[in-house]
Amino acid sequence: AQSVTQLDSHVSVSEGTPVLLRCNYSSSYSPSLFWYVQHPNKGLQLLLKYTSAATLVKGINGFEAEFKKSETSFHLTKPSAHMSDAAEYFCVVRGGGGGNKLTFGTGTQLKVEL
Partner 1 sequence: DAGVTQSPTHLIKTRGQQVTLRCSPKSGHDTVSWYQQALGQGPQFIFQYYEEEERQRGNFPDRFSGHQFPNYSSELNVNALLLGDSALYLCASSGQGGRETQYFGPGTRLLVL
Q: Which residues contact 35 (CB under 8 A, 6 or more apart)?
A: 21, 23, 46, 47, 48, 49, 59, 63, 65, 74, 76, 89, 90, 91, 92
Number of residues that bind partner 1 (CB under 8 A): 21
Question: Under the criterion CB under 8 A, does residue 31 sit at the interface with partner 1?
Answer: no
Binding flags for partner 1, 55-94, as an x/- string (CB under 8 A):
-----------------------------------x---x
Q: Which of 21, 25, 27, 36 binds partner 1 (CB under 8 A)?
A: 36
Question: Under the criterion CB under 8 A, does residue 40 sit at the interface with partner 1?
Answer: no
The amino acid occupying position 86 is A
In the chain, what is the straight-line distance between the N-terminal and C-terminal CA atoms, in Å? Answer: 41
Residue whose CB is less far from partner 1, 22 or 49: 49
Question: Under the criterion CB under 8 A, does residue 100 sit at the interface with partner 1?
Answer: yes
Q: Are 58 and 65 in contact (CB under 8 A)?
A: no
Question: Under the criterion CB under 8 A, does residue 102 sit at the interface with partner 1?
Answer: yes
Q: Are 31 and 23 in contact (CB under 8 A)?
A: no
Residue whose CB is less far from partner 1, 28 or 70: 28
Which residues are at the interface with partner 1 (CB under 8 A)? 34, 36, 42-46, 49, 90, 94, 97-107
